[in-house]
Amino acid sequence: MKKKGATIKLTPTEFKVLFALASRPDKVFTRDELVENALGYQFEGYERSIDAHIKNIRQKIEDDPKNPSFILTVYGVGYKFIGRRDD
């Protein structure tokens, strides 16, 4: 993955979370849905760990992580990806 010509390194988990979000733009995912889609049913951690992954992804892909334009928080629900798929 690249941003402004520079390679962005995502961890495998960050990639899975980003892929889950980006595969369905504008769909609001709950934390539980992201855990299921990205981490699998065997995950035994706390669903709030998704928040840390989202924060790390935003640090890497957003121009201004505190004012994100790709991964938006839907308060009280979860997260959604804004963008379009490259075909």
CATH code, 60: 1.10.10.10
Q: Is residue 87 part of a domain?
A: no
Q: Give the Cα separation of 69 and 58 in Å (integer).
A: 9
Residue 44 lies inside a defined structural domain of this protein: yes
The whole-chain average pLDDT of the chain stands at 86
In a domain, 86, yes or no: no
Q: Is residue 2 part of a domain?
A: no
Whether residue 69 is predicted with pLDDT greater than 80 in this model: the reply is yes
Assess whether pLDDT exceeds 60 at residue 26.
yes
Q: What pLDDT does 83 receive?
A: 73
Provide the pLDDT for residue 42: 62
Give 75's pLDDT tier (boundaries 50, 70, 90).
very high
pLDDT value at position 46? 59
**Boundaries of domain holding 51:** 9-81
- Produce one character per residue of 50-86: b if its CB has 16 or more CB atoms within 10 Å, e if not: beebbebbbeebeeeeeebebbeeeeeebbbbeeeee
Interval 28-49: pLDDT, tens? 999 989 988 877 766 556 567 8
Q: Domain for residue 4, yes or no?
A: no
The count of domains in the chain is 1
